Amino acid sequence: MPASLKLDRISKSFGTTKVLDEVDVEIRAGEFVSIVGASGCGKSTLLRIIAGLETQGAGHVRLDEVVVDAMAPRERNVAVVFQNYALYPHMTAFENIATPLATSRLSLYERLPVLGRLSRRRAKIRAGIAADVAAVAAQLRIEALLDRKPGQLSGGQRQRVALARALVRRPSLFLMDEPLSNLDAQLRVHMREEITELHSRLGATFVYVTHDQVEAMTMSDRIVMMDKGRVAQIGSPSDLYDRPATIAVARFIGSPAMNFLPAAADSSGALFHADRRLPVDTDRAGPVVVGLRPENVAIGPVYEGAALVGRIRRVEHHGHDRLVHLDLQSPLGGMLSARVSATDALSDPAEGCFVAVDFTGPAHVFDGDGLRRTSKVVRLGFGRIDTAAEAAE
């Protein structure tokens, strides 16, 4: 049975460093939730606390509404896939997968190397374990590898053995700590699919820690974005992409990364970048940062009164589209990247050219604390932008 998970104001400090600060997360049974964030944001510590490998300084972990703070990892019935797989190198793949079953079905003395053989029921239990291991191995297509030791397996094969070891005792909660980070790019894409498929087949609850936003975006039902020990945002992949709650989320989610322009809002909420009126309004005055996804930036021939003018520094070809890097011609300097279609009229802009820059999609406005503010794009696409003087009229 999949379990629901509730983290209730979890805090943790190592010495004087606060690693987790009042983390509140609720995960429904059967959900696939990714925890993302830059390294050092506390995501791995959070996973270890859920697993019971680390004790939190404050707060509670609830599995199916039951507080499990005092339980050992085993009693919580969670399985962990570790970043380096943590397979026992002296055991064959079979023995690795059988270990969690052996510890639960055999008594300590039955597991002892020589003494254990004296037990009469041992052989029968061992046969049951072997059958279960074979079933899981078939599920992950590693039957042929069961006799090998981890040292004789490739990265992808070790990954499968580690998954099998997690699967074999049907845990109610799967915890994965960057399980794909040691694989090469191609295999990673493949395993991404496979894990997603595994999730839908098992219907179990998955908590997946990663620093790779692509993994989080492509695999999860919901994403928990961590920043400096706090939850920055929880939501579906499109929530985080379309409405990032903080500038940290905006920076982290999306590739190529979002552009950021310093700007200031006047009393009416109109935004200016170095005295140039931007086609965006917000709700109150003050210094802000405007975030723009590269696909919401358009470039065109320079025209009189264009709000932003850039000089093309470099063009990256991505096949289906191109990423144009611009140096902004503004007293504040800065750079911008625009994602343009390969079939666009300006699809092959020459490096060194000057172009006008316009917005073709939503702009994200963040205040001085990096928090999202309401904003409205007043005009999309190309056109004459009001200058400061005109806006005042």
Under the criterion CB under 8 A, does residue 319 sit at the interface with another protein? no
Structure tokens at 321: 């589209």
Under the criterion CB under 8 A, does residue 112 sit at the interface with another protein? yes
Q: Closest by alpha carbon to 324, among 305, 346, 345?
A: 346
Within 13 Å of residue 168, how many CA atoms lie on the same side as its CB?
31
Beta-ladder partners of 18: 13
DSSP assignment letter at 246: B
| Binding characters for another protein, 47-66, by CB under 8 A (x = yes) | -x--xxx-------------
In the three-class reduction of DSSP (H, G, I as helix; E, B as strand; rest coil), residue 376 is classed as strand
Under the criterion CB under 8 A, does residue 86 sit at the interface with another protein? yes
Helix 93-105 to helix 155-167 angle (10° resolution) is 20
Among 6, 28, 111, 228, binds another protein (CB under 8 A): 111
Q: Which residue has the tokens 């606390």?
A: 49
Q: What's the first-to-final CA gap in the chain, in angstroms?
A: 66
Least distance CB 235 / another protein (angstroms) = 29
Least distance CB 16 / another protein (angstroms) = 17
Query: What does each C-alpha distance from 377 to 57, 334, 358, 364, 391 come to in angstroms?
Result: 45, 21, 11, 9, 15
User: Which range, of 108-116, 134-142, 222-230, 364-372, touches another protein by CB under 8 A?
Assistant: 108-116
User: Which range, of 5-13, 67-75, 131-139, 245-253, touches another protein by CB under 8 A?
Assistant: 67-75
DSSP-H helix ranges across the chain: 43-51, 93-105, 108-111, 122-139, 155-167, 185-202, 213-219, 237-242, 247-252, 388-392
- Centre a 10 Å sphere on the Cβ of residue 362 and count the other Cβ atoms it contains: 17
Among 15, 113, 319, 368, binds another protein (CB under 8 A): 113
Least distance CB 74 / another protein (angstroms) = 4
Q: Which residue has the tokens 């503004």?
A: 330
Least distance CB 113 / another protein (angstroms) = 7
| Binding characters for another protein, 134-153, by CB under 8 A (x = yes) | ---------------xxx--
Least distance CB 105 / another protein (angstroms) = 10
Under the criterion CB under 8 A, does residue 15 sit at the interface with another protein? no
Q: Given the complex with another protein, which of 142 and 336 has the nearer CB atom?
A: 142
Q: Cβ(174)–Cβ(118) under 8 Å?
A: no
Under the criterion CB under 8 A, does residue 73 sit at the interface with another protein? yes
Among 14, 58, 88, 391, binds another protein (CB under 8 A): 88
Least distance CB 83 / another protein (angstroms) = 8
Q: Given the complex with another protein, which of 83 and 218 has the nearer CB atom?
A: 83
Q: Closest by alpha carbon to 357, among 390, 334, 389?
A: 334
Residues binding another protein (CB under 8 A): 48, 51-53, 72-74, 78-80, 82-84, 86-91, 99-100, 103-104, 108, 111-113, 149-151, 165
